[in-house]
Amino acid sequence: MLKLLASGERIVRIAQILHLSPSTVTTYRARILEKTGMDSNAKLARYALENGLLT
């Protein structure tokens, strides 16, 4: 989920890829942001890039 968010995928597309509802993806995104202390997808993308999660 983090990699998909960080790579710029839209919520609906992530839901399709993972076979989840868009609301579930939104909830997971909010939890990731809360647990990492970040407040945007851009910050998640930077974190993923700096830590080698995006190839």
Domain ranges of the chain: 2-50
Q: What is the mean pLDDT of residues 20-40?
A: 96
Can you tell me the mean pLDDT for 26-37? 96
pLDDT of residue 47: 92
- Topology classification of domain 2-50: Arc Repressor Mutant, subunit A (1.10.10)
User: Strands, E, within 1-55: which ranges?
Assistant: none
CA-only gyration radius of the chain, Å: 11
Q: Quick one: which of 23, 15, 18, 50 has its CA closest to 42?
A: 50
Q: Give this prediction's pTM.
A: 0.85
Residue 54 clears pLDDT 90, i.e. is over it = no
How far CA 21 is from CA of 2, 11, 18, 24, 48, in Å, comes to 16, 9, 9, 5, 24
CA angle 6, 34, 27 (to 5 degrees): 70
